Amino acid sequence: MQFLEQVSKEIGKCLHEFKVIVVKSTVPVGTSDKVKQWIKESCSQADDFAVVSNPEFLREGSALYDALQPDRIVIGSDCRQAITILNKLYEQACCPILITSSSSAELIKYASNSFLALKISFVNELAKLCDHLEIDIQGVAEGMGLDHRIGEHFLQAGIGYGGSCFPKDVDALLHTSKKHGVDLTILEKVVEVNKTQPLYMIEKIRNMLGSLKEKKVGILGLAFKPHTDDLRESPSLKILQVLDEEKAIVQVHDPVATLPSSTFSSHITQCETPYLAATDADAILICTDWPEYRQLDWKKINKLLKHPYLFDGRNMLDAHMLSQLGFLYEGVGKKSGVHSSTLL
């Protein structure tokens, strides 16, 4: 917010004719009004501008596609002239354009990301039940997603969400709700589930290996999602922390991301290839669903492992195929011996 205040006042000093100031950042509800006030404080022509909230809905790793093919455009302003200018800017867009207040636009961004986070935590909770019932969560999620009211997106069970958006935006919405004396109890549970989800996979590994002390674990993937080197709030870091605390020996690989200095340890090393990460390991764990991991020579990896334990933290691999190669496969709500559904 201090940076927003700084740039708002700088803009105010430069205004000499009508201008539209567009806030694209994900900001707390009411920020556009603050931007307007900050500009007025340093602007001699206090009424010769408009502030518009126009939140971006870009996914990390596919921002260009999302910018050119948006699902919707939200314009938050009470200035008719500013709305006309923004509509002209987006006249080539083939998607719904919603005109609303600036505060509503700001809340839409937080609410959207929080709901997606909710879907992830919900399917992760359901996956735990599937483990006990010996049901494949992927078939359940597919059956749910075919309902257009639910949709297929963000129903992939795994070790939890991370990145720069979901954790921050959910926390921000919870902060706003508490500030106004409103409890968002469902959202509080979303955060709780996500924090414990990486530990659920650690527990699966313990059940197979017993004590993790001096056990060698290969980790495939550091980034919170594929096609980025972003480690912010990545579930893999929580897993590395626990493995290090329990004195496991960890061999890590990621195609682009590198271990942060905060994880430096005599027990953790980064490998140049997935095959080196698997060499002599007691188990291997997938933390990021990089497409190249699907193309690995898994028969070769099986031979490199000390024990054929494969933990798929992203449910990205074919459990049946891997079991035929001799792996003892365990996903999240997904086991090698559990029947999966087929869509005809």
Catalytic positions: 165
CA dihedral of residues 16, 19, 25, 26 (deg, nearest 10): 120
Q: How far apart are CA 252 and CA 217, in angstroms?
A: 8
Contact at 8 Å (CB) between 184 and 177? yes
Task: Write the DSSP symbol of residue 145.
Answer: H
Residue whose tokens read 């959207």: 112
Contact at 8 Å (CB) between 87 and 75? yes
- Encoding tokens for residue 52? 């518009």
Distance of CA 11 to the CA centre of its chain: 33
Q: How far apart are CA 332 and CA 179, in angstroms?
A: 36
Which amino acid would we find at residue 131? D
| Residue closest to 104 by CA, chosen among 70, 55, 71, 50 | 55
Task: Write the DSSP symbol of residue 335.
Answer: B
Q: Is 214 left (phi over 0), alpha (psi -120 to 50) or beta?
A: left
Q: How far apart are CA 95 and CA 71, in angstroms?
A: 6
| Residue closest to 284 by CA, chosen among 219, 224, 236, 201 | 219
Give the three-state DSSP class for 246. coil
Cα maximum dimension of the chain:
75
